């Protein structure tokens, strides 16, 4: 963050080592910041603004920070499995799964104050106390169990669990910082299947499934907290399943609805798109031209109003880009364009929008297409064979693709520019994790940002000069290192001279006349062969 070159950090984990680097795009190499063996037993995790790096241990969690990565706080929680920071880094949720004496699964979830290290509340119970019993029966341990409300303050967190009295799924919302149940009671709602907070405010989207044999239709509702006010709802019929996608800044909400026909044989997909920022939350419906087409993924543009879906029947898929605004900025869903027959099954938007990477992972072996949505053109194509993970840096300038230890071979990561140029590769055997350090929130006002933008051309010149100097220095370092290696090698070779002479003498003695290279001469032979002779009259032109 305080780096004078404005570089971003990332952490990698392989074998027993954890290493933190600066990503230096200019010199095209990583610059090591910190390394430590056996730092963690089961993983590391950045806090949402990158202030802390949390390490998991058998005894609990430790957080580290500062330039030297000193230990800042410890949180005791035996056998901790998963951790989760609140969006503003104020609280830390830790959880463990153990077995009680009757061999039942026992969950322990603790909420800590990150700064003081104080345990604020401990929840203990069986899976039904934290999950819907449908999920428990299916063996799905849905994480996170506690979902944090978005916004500038860490105000609420909630869980969807089985009610002890009715056996129905209920949403319990807890309030910070006293950790009590909001208004001392859970939300009374029917047939709740799923909920998700808006990333930007205490607003909850809730999916109620169809109930009473279809007499009560399925429903999507938006509920504001702590008022418990339903500000918008939408009934849906013949729903077989839904998926909820919040826009990263909370501007929009997309609900992917899979409907079945009366016979339940065919499934067709449509999208219900809510525009949260407008009055009364207007809604648009998007249906694909071919309704029965399978939709693979959906993804909102961060800091933008566009989205992309991948659809088709495979093995190649179509990628379609849509905008939520028409030319005049009014709300309407508009198709921007489609790309046909792409090796793509996953979408990764740059965190700043505009650029997107179409990735073909798993069965597509790691193909990447770097696409600019503003100009609607492909900037570059690349391949990282067998890549399993893809992650953009916080500035949207670099992309890291990695092959983790799920594959036996070619472990390590590749670093690309946003245009798809390979900067460097770092092969590491038994590679587990790559994670960019998130950036802190900007402290600048809009005017200050504008001023910076104005000065940009001068700044760029300055940066370029710096960059040239640094590149030269890096080059010199490499050249010096190579020279050193060559000198060392030469010295080593010279040190063997006596021994070599001995061996040669021995060889000569043993092999006698066979030792000498047999004489051979290169002889150039010219052969002329007359194939036939023919007389022709020479004609003058």
Residues that bind another protein (CB under 8 A): 365, 385-386, 408-412, 427, 429, 482, 485-486, 489, 492-493, 496, 499-500, 502-504, 506-507, 510-511, 514-515
Decide whether 371 or 413 has the Cβ nearer to another protein: 413
Cβ proximity of 81 and 93 under 8 Å: no
Q: How far is the CB of 318 from another protein (least distance, A)?
A: 23
We find the least distance from the C-beta atom of residue 266 to another protein, in angstroms, to be: 32
Give least dist CB 498 to another protein, A.
Answer: 11
Instruction: Single out the residue of 246, 243, 252, 157 nearest to residue 199, CA to CA.
Output: 246
Residue 465 DSSP SS3: helix
What burial letters (b/e) apply to 359-391, b meaning 16+ CB within 10 Å? bbbeebebbbbbbbbeeeeebbebbbebbbbbb
* Shortest distance, position 405 Cβ to another protein, whole Å: 12
The smaller minimum CB distance to another protein, of residues 365 and 455, is found at 365
* Residue 467 C-beta: closest distance to another protein, Å: 22
Q: In this complex, which beta carbon is closest to another protein, that of residue 376 or of residue 385?
A: 385
Nearer to another protein, 21 or 274 (CB): 21
Of 451 and 511, the one with the shorter C-beta distance to another protein is 511
For residue 89, what are the CA distances in angstroms to 46, 226, 302, 313, 463? Answer: 10, 21, 21, 42, 33
Task: Please tell me whether residue 129 adopts helix, strand or coil conformation.
Answer: helix
Instruction: Quote the least distance from Cβ 501 to another protein, whole Å.
Output: 10
Please state the closest distance from residue 506 (CB atom) to another protein, in A: 4
Closer Cβ to another protein, 282 or 315, answer by number: 315
Distance CA 271, CA 297 (A): 12
CB atoms within 10 A of CB 429: 12
Q: Which is nearer to another protein, 115 or 486 (CB)?
A: 486
Structural tokens at position 236: 């849906």
DSSP strands (E only) in 150-238: 156-162, 169-175, 192-197, 203-208, 218-224, 229-236
Report the C-alpha gap between 470 and 476 in whole angstroms.
10
183 phi/psi in degrees, rounded to 5: 55, 20
């Amino acid at each position: 963050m305080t780096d004078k070159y404005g570089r971003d950090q990332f952490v990698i984990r392989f074998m027993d080592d954890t290493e933190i680097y600066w990503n230096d795009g200019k010199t095209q190499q990583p610059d090591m910041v910190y390394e430590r063996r056996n730092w963690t037993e089961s993983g590391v995790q950045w806090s949402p603004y990158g202030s802390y790096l949390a390490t998991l241990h058998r005894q609990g969690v430790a957080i580290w920070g500062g330039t030297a990565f000193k230990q800042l706080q410890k949180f005791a929680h035996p056998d901790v499995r998963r951790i989760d920071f609140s969006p503003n880094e104020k609280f830390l949720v830790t959880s463990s799964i153990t077995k009680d004496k009757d061999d039942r699964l026992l969950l322990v979830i603790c909420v800590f104050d990150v700064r003081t290290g104080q345990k604020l509340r401990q929840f203990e119970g069986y899976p039904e106390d934290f999950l819907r019993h449908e999920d428990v029966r299916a063996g799905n341990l849905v994480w996170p169990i506690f979902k944090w409300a978005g916004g500038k303050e860490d105000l609420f967190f909630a869980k969807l669990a089985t009610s002890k009295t009715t056996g129905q799924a209920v949403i319990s919302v807890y309030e910070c910082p006293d950790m009590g149940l909001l208004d001392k009671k859970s939300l009374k709602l029917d047939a709740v299947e799923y909920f998700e907070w808006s990333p930007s405010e205490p607003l909850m989207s809730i999916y109620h499934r169809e109930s009473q044999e279809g007499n009560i239709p399925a429903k999507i509702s938006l509920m504001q907290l702590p008022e418990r006010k339903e500000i918008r709802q939408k009934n849906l019929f013949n729903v077989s399943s839904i998926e909820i996608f919040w826009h990263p800044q909370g501007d929009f909400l997309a609900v992917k609805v899979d409907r079945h026909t009366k016979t339940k044989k065919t499934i067709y997909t449509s999208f219900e798109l809510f525009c949260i920022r407008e009055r009364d939350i207007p809604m648009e419906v998007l249906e694909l031209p071919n309704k029965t087409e399978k939709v693979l993924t959906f993804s909102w543009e961060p800091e933008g109003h566009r989205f992309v879906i991948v659809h088709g029947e495979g093995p190649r898929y179509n990628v379609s880009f849509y905008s939520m605004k028409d030319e005049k900025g009014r709300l309407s869903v508009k198709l921007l364009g489609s790309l046909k027959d792409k090796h793509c099954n996953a979408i990764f938007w740059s965190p700043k929008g505009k650029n997107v990477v179409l990735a073909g992972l798993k069965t597509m072996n790691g193909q990447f297409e770097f696409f600019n949505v503003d100009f609607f053109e492909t900037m570059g194509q690349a391949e990282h064979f067998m890549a399993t993970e893809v992650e953009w840096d916080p500035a949207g300038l670099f992309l890291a693709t990695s092959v983790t230890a799920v594959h036996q071979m070619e472990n390590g990561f590749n670093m690309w520019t946003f245009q798809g140029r390979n900067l460097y590769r770092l092969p590491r055997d038994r590679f587990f994790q790559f994670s960019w350090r998130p950036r802190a929130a900007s402290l600048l006002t809009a005017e200050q940002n504008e001023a910076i933008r104005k000065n940009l051309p001068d700044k760029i010149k300055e940066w370029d000069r710096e960059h040239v100097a640094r590149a030269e220095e890096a080059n010199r370092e490499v050249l010096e290192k190579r020279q050193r290696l060559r000198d060392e090698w030469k010295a080593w070779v010279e040190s063997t001279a006596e021994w070599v002479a001995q061996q040669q003498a021995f060889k000569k003695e043993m092999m006698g006349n066979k030792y000498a290279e047999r004489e051979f001469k290169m002889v150039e032979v010219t052969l002329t062969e007359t194939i036939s002779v023919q007389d022709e009259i020479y004609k003058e032109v």
